[in-house]
């Protein structure tokens, strides 16, 4: 039962943070397309780990610094919007799964192209 509650809270935090990211005034965050891929909250609701992915990888380091500096503002807004007993402290983590998937897709497509060029040379 508790894990179901945490899963619901994780979804709500993800939705709220996605909406709140558009309100952050920091240019390091505004100029980058940020996607929240996953949220994990501790059972005591004290900490939440937010996994983010960036469309422009060259700006990822600056965007992470901007997110870390905006964490206090986002935590305060999150607490007032969700009305939880505790506002969880936000810990940011970069998620490279989208890049990994794109890399694997590129490798698979390159194998298909090689197979089309070399029809059964047995």
pLDDT tens readout for residues 53-71: 988 888 889 999 999 999 9
What's the predicted TM-score (pTM) here?
0.78
pLDDT at 12 over 90: yes
Q: How far apart are CA 23 and CA 9, in angstroms?
A: 21
Residue 32 has what pLDDT? 87
pLDDT at 110 over 90: no
Residues in the chain, how many?
A: 122
Q: How confident is the model at residue 47 (pLDDT cuts 50, 70, 90)?
A: very high
Domains of the chain, CATH where assigned: 2-95 (3.30.300.20)
Helix (H) or strand (E) holding 24: none
Q: How far apart are CA 42 and CA 46, in angstroms?
A: 6
Q: How far apart are CA 13 and CA 66, in angstroms?
A: 19
Residue 13 has what pLDDT? 94
Q: How confident is the model at residue 16 (pLDDT cuts 50, 70, 90)?
A: very high
Residue 57 has what pLDDT? 81
């Amino acid at each position: 039962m508790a894990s179901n509650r945490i899963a619901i809270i994780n979804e709500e935090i993800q939705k709220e943070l996605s909406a709140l990211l558009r309100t952050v005034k920091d240019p390091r965050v505004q100029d980058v397309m940020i996607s929240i891929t996953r949220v994990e909250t501790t059972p005591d609701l004290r900490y939440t780990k937010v996994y983010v992915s960036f469309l422009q990888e060259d700006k990822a380091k600056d965007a992470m610094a901007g997110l870390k500096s905006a964490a206090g503002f986002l935590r305060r807004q999150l607490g007032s919007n969700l009305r939880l007993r505790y506002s969880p402290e936000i810990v940011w983590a970069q998620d490279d799964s989208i890049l990994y998937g794109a890399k694997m897709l590129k490798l698979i497509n390159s194998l298909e192209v090689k197979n089309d060029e070399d029809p059964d040379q047995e």
